[in-house]
Chains A and B, each alone.
Chain A
Amino acid sequence: MIYPNKKIEKELIVKSSTDNLAQVREFTRKAAEESGFPEETVGKIILAVDEACTNIIKHAYKYSPEGKIVISIKFDSTIFSISIIDEGIHFNPNTVPEPNIVEYYKKKKIGGLGIFLMKKLMDDVKYSTITGNKNQVILVKYLTQ
């Protein structure tokens, strides 16, 4: 039971290896369950966070496993917000076109599905550059009664 306006914060720092995705999902699951989301929504949040971290590993750090990924989750009775920060190559999501599955098939294109999924799964997805030339993506899901 979450009391109104009582903010809970959790943080996980991992290296940019796909080996750590399972740990990231487990961390996200615990927080999302604690916030009281139904199982289906918990699943959506876990997948969105996985996609964000996978994108960072692939594009920001180009599969170098020594990069740092900081995942911070904050929630209260109304909002569940995940901030994911990296220090890799800057990523502009606006340059990623929305995928059309039939076009993908024709072109044998296999990337770019992750960001589309994140937008579908979450209520809000915001990319920005923050102090120290770091990249931040914030994923938001609202808790509705």
Chain B
Amino acid sequence: MADFNVNLRGVGSVSVIDVNGYLDAHTAPELENVFNKLLDGKNYRVVVNFNDLKYISSAGLGVFMAYVETMRENKGDIKFSNMKESVYNIFDLLGFPILYEFYKDENEAVQKFNELGLS
């Protein structure tokens, strides 16, 4: 009954994942499926847009931990954008800002990849 949706779209060479609703232990596997799809397609430049995410638990945070290194090993990254303060605070409690880049706006995050050039 948990309400969660995930959508994948391409913006140039960057894959943008829109997350919507409640990301918990029940819904985290749906997000994992999207990351697996990205790895299958060798898409390593990822922006996660949190604009419509209302809630996240450690099960959701764990998904980003599980995939970020593979992305970076392949000259990509997982960057975050459009996060509500209440959601950001949970990432902050666990020290994520040391390891991940957070942007106010999706375009800024996408631009950051484009500055690196196409590899």
Q: Which residues of A contact B (CB under 8 A)?
A: 18-19, 21-23, 25, 40, 43, 47, 50-51, 54, 57-58, 99-102, 104-105, 108-111, 113-114, 116-117, 120-121
Tell me the nearest residue of chain A to B65, going by C-beta.
Answer: A110
CB atoms of B25 and A117 under 8 A apart: no
CA distance A57 to B57 in the complex (A): 14
CB-based A-B contact count at 8 angstroms: 76
Question: B98 at interface (Cβ–Cβ under 8 A)?
Answer: yes
Q: Does B119 reach chain A (CB closer than 8 Å)?
A: no
Name which residue of chain B comes closest to A121, CB basis: B93
- CB atoms of A101 and B24 under 8 A apart: no
Q: Which residue of B lies closest to A46 (CB)?
A: B55
Q: A80 to B63, alpha carbons, bound, how many Å?
A: 32
Q: Which residues of B are in contact with A by a Cβ distance under 8 Å?
A: 1-3, 22, 24-26, 55, 57-59, 61-63, 65-66, 68-69, 86, 90, 93-96, 98-99
Which residue of A25, A54, A105 contacts B68 across the interface (Cβ within 8 Å)?
A105
A–B complex contacts, Cβ < 8 Å, 29 sampled: A18-B24, A18-B25, A18-B26, A21-B2, A21-B25, A21-B57, A22-B1, A23-B1, A25-B22, A40-B86, A43-B86, A47-B55, A50-B24, A54-B24, A54-B58, A57-B25, A99-B94, A101-B94, A101-B95, A101-B99, A102-B99, A108-B69, A110-B65, A110-B66, A114-B59, A117-B57, A117-B58, A117-B93, A121-B93
How many Å from the CB of A138 to the closest CB on chain B?
A: 20
Q: Which of A21, A47, A51, A111 contacts B26 (CB 8 A)?
A: A21
Given A22-B1, A108-B66; A54-B59 close (CB under 8 Å): yes
Instruction: Report whether B2 and A19 are in contact in the complex, using a CB–CB cutoff of 8 Å.
Output: yes
Using Cβ atoms and an 8 Å threshold, which residues of chain B touch A113? Answer: 58, 61-62, 94
Chain A residues positioned under 8 Å from B69 (CB to CB) = 105, 108
Q: Which residue of B lies closest to A115 (CB)?
A: B58
B62 in contact with A101 (CB, 8 Å): no
In whole angstroms, how far apart are the Cα atoms of A105 and B59 in the complex? 15
Chain B residues whose C-beta falls within 8 Å of the C-beta of A19 in the assembled complex:
1-2, 26
Known contacts A18-B26, A40-B86, A108-B69, A116 near B94 by CB under 8 Å: yes
By beta carbon, the residue of chain B nearest A105 is B99
Residues from chain A with a CB closer than 8 A to the CB of B63 are 110
